[in-house]
Amino acid sequence: MKILSILFALLLVVCRGAAGLATPPRPIMRCGYRGTFCYSGTCPRGNAYLGGCRFGHSCCRWL
């Protein structure tokens, strides 16, 4: 019986630790204001990459 209680406690610890390993979804940036724009693919030359927009586009900023 002691072994069962130890195994149960170990199972709870493992399950609780595994729950935190899932990666959260990336937040979608609010793009298209104050010199920012969404661009499909990588940002054009001369523009800075800020993050992701909707539909997998890149959020870029004019330099």
Q: State pLDDT tens for residues 11-56.
A: 656 656 555 555 555 566 678 888 899 999 999 999 999 988 888 8
Contacts of 47 (CB under 8 A, 6+ apart): 39, 60, 61, 62, 63
The pTM for the full model equals 0.52
In the chain, the percentage of residues whose pLDDT exceeds 90 is: 29
Question: In this predicted structure, what is the pLDDT of residue 15?
Answer: 57
Confidence at 5, pLDDT banded by 50, 70, 90: confident
Nearest CA among 28, 34, 32, 35 for reference residue 53: 28
